[in-house]
């Protein structure tokens, strides 16, 4: 493809993830460059843009190339005068660690916005302040997760749908600063196929993660057990990219064919600030 030469790409693992070299996002991205970036995004699933000096407004601008940017229902995380940005920070007003993890829901494997009818497409995340230890972001490939299922599993999952519910995962994992009534009303539980076809690559992937609460037409406990089993089965070490952050890095990933999680850090000692925005995609189709 002729626009392939717009930048160099260095694979981060043999199966997923690539670093994009030589692009300064703060300079703006024209249509031709974005076309190449999007092509690489579909191919590699996770793109790392090395150290960038990217103000919040520029980050939102970059995300808008992918599509409509979500205004997150948990509005207490909105940041920098841009409601599209969701800031995760453990710093107090003096810039010192406050001892509180901002969102423990991020520590379990999940896919952004799966609790919406129209789920997350790209997530664009920028590392402002990086913990010296921990606070990594891990990605696992859901194409590979589906491909490696046995024929019996594939047959069992055919036609099954899972109910995704942010209130469930927020309460279960974070356990404090729970959703308000108004926030709950805005995002009622929604069901999606467990096996979805990526709308652009046409490949099948598992679509589950930590926001999945129950299975349509199945008893609650049985559904819970199935979800837990599948979420564990989906993660393969050799289909995972583990990113250790340096300040100023930006990562874009495709929520339709990945799960991700953050790793623990000590919020009383380490400092960690990331800002992210999630672009809305489509309602998942089997």
Interface residues with Fe ion (CB under 5 A)? Answer: 112
Write down the least CB distance from residue 222 to Fe ion, Å: 27
Query: Please, which residue, 49 or 115, has the CB nearer to Fe ion?
Result: 115
User: What is the DSSP code (8-state) at residue 257?
Assistant: S
Write down the least CB distance from residue 252 to Fe ion, Å: 13
Write down the least CB distance from residue 246 to Fe ion, Å: 20
User: What is the DSSP code (8-state) at residue 218?
Assistant: S
Query: Please, which residue, 148 or 173, has the CB nearer to Fe ion?
Result: 173
Residue 49, token pair as written in the block:
């843009």
Write down the least CB distance from residue 260 to Fe ion, Å: 6
Residue 95, token pair as written in the block:
């810039």
Distances (CA, A) of 172 to 21, 104, 107, 120, 153: 40, 9, 12, 21, 27
The closest alpha carbon to 214, from 170, 154, 161, belongs to 161
Query: Please, which residue, 36 or 255, has the CB nearer to Fe ion?
Result: 255
Return the percent helix, strand and coil in the chain, to nearest 5.
30, 30, 45
Query: Please, which residue, 84 or 112, has the CB nearer to Fe ion?
Result: 112
Write down the least CB distance from residue 30 to Fe ion, Å: 29
Residue number of the CB atom closest to Fe ion: 112
Query: Please, which residue, 62 or 86, has the CB nearer to Fe ion?
Result: 86
The closest alpha carbon to 274, from 80, 86, 84, belongs to 86
Write down the least CB distance from residue 113 to Fe ion, Å: 9
Query: Please, which residue, 125 or 157, has the CB nearer to Fe ion?
Result: 125
Question: Which is it for strands 46-49 and 18-21: parallel, antiparallel or unpaired?
Answer: parallel
Residue 159, token pair as written in the block:
């036609």
In 17-136, the DSSP E strands lie at: 18-21, 46-49, 78-79, 82-89, 120-129
8 Å CB contact between 13 and 46: no
Write down the least CB distance from residue 231 to Fe ion, Å: 14
* CA pair distance 137, 4, nearest whole angstrom: 27
Query: Please, which residue, 61 or 112, has the CB nearer to Fe ion?
Result: 112
């Amino acid at each position: 493809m002729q626009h392939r030469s717009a930048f160099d790409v260095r694979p981060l693992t043999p199966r997923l993830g690539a670093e994009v070299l030589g692009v300064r996002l703060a300079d703006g991205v024209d249509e031709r460059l974005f076309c190449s970036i999007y092509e690489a995004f579909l191919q590699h699933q996770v793109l790392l843009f090395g150290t960038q000096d990217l103000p919040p407004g520029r980050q939102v601008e970059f995300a808008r190339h992918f599509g409509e940017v979500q205004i997150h229902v948990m509005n207490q995380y909105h940041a920098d005068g841009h409601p599209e940005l969701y800031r995760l920070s453990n710093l107090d007003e003096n810039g010192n660690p406050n001892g509180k993890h901002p969102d423990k829901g991020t520590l379990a494997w999940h896919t952004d916005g799966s609790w919406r009818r129209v789920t997350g497409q790209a997530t664009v995340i920028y590392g402002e302040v990086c913990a010296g230890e921990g606070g990594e972001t891990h990605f696992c490939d859901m194409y590979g997760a589906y491909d490696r299922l046995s024929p019996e599993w594939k047959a069992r999952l055919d036609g099954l749908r899972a109910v995704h519910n942010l209130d469930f995962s927020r309460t279960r994992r974070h356990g404090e600063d729970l959703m308000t009534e108004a926030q709950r009303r805005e995002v009622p539980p929604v069901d999606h196929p467990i096996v979805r076809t990526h709308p652009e690559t046409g490949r099948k992937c598992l679509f589950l993660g930590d926001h999945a609460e129950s299975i349509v037409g199945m008893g609650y406990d049985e559904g819970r057990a199935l979800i837990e089993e599948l979420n564990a089965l989906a993660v393969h070490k050799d289909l995972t990219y583990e990113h250790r952050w340096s300040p100023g890095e930006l990562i874009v990933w495709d929520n339709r064919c990945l799960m991700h999680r953050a790793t623990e850090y000590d919020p009383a000692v380490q400092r960690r600030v990331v800002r992210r925005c999630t672009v809305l995609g489509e309602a998942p189709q089997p």
